[in-house]
Amino acid sequence: MDPDVSRETPSTPEVARRAFPSDRLPVAERYAELLASDGVVRGLIGPREAPRLWDRHLVNCALLGELLPDGASVCDIGSGAGLPGLVLAIARPDLTITLVEPLLRRTTFLEEAVGALQLSNVEVHRARADALHGVRTFDVVTSRAVAPLGRLLDWSMPLVAPTGALVAMKGSSIGDEIEGARADLQRWGCAEPEVHVLGEDWPVSPTVAVRVAWSDPGRVSWPLASSPAARGTAGRGRSTGKRRRKS
């Protein structure tokens, strides 16, 4: 199907027209079709999620764009089916998006989706997050349902530029996650996390996001290796090395 669909599909809810610019809504509709078809067949989206793709997934992710600066470079780690990375690329064509995902079947879907949707502002990188540590930095590093905040810091902060931030989609327990990650936040030299609730006046479930920046951007130097205390597989990788700062 042509990605430049000329009319809105009947299943497109009114809230989608609010979340996406009018000239980008046909692209969002095409992406919803891909998720509901290939995404389900390939096991990237559960069958029960297909009827509620707009409210629970596409609009939910599009709201995150409110926290991203104009023209930002964005890294979406553990991108999966492209949530939130592909949604942000559709809703915000001013952004440059790098999707980082280690599993072949997922990156295959992402590459096919990028081609079908003609998204020239998206790069798909098949790797764990730590493969880019010390190699690339971004204005924003985002993720959705990838890991608790403590582990997420180890995978994300080595990718965050000095004036950038981690901006991750989270659930209602983010307050507890922040308290549980106090030692990690201090170890990385992070500023106090900011919790944002987006879309409270929208007819969908609000999007909860946490934003974590550096406490002193001027003292962060690159290449920045990752924490020696990194755990698990990052977005899913494992980190090694030490954090370095300017003396």
Phi-psi domain of 121 (left: phi exceeds 0; alpha: psi -120 through 50; beta: other): alpha
Distance CA 25, CA 20 (A): 5
Q: From start to end of 17-85, where are the E strands?
A: 73-77
DSSP H or E segment with residue 90: helix 85-91
Distance CA 74, CA 85 (A): 8
78 has binding-site annotation: yes
| Residues in the chain, total | 247
Token representation of residue 239 = 């980190």
232 has binding-site annotation: no
Distance CA 157, CA 155 (A): 6
What helix, strand, coil percent values describe the chain, rounded to 5?
Answer: 40, 20, 40
83 has binding-site annotation: yes
**Of 73, 65, 233, 210, residue with least CA distance to 137:** 73
Write out the binding residues for S-adenosyl-L-methionine: 78, 83, 144
Write out the binding residues: 78, 83, 144
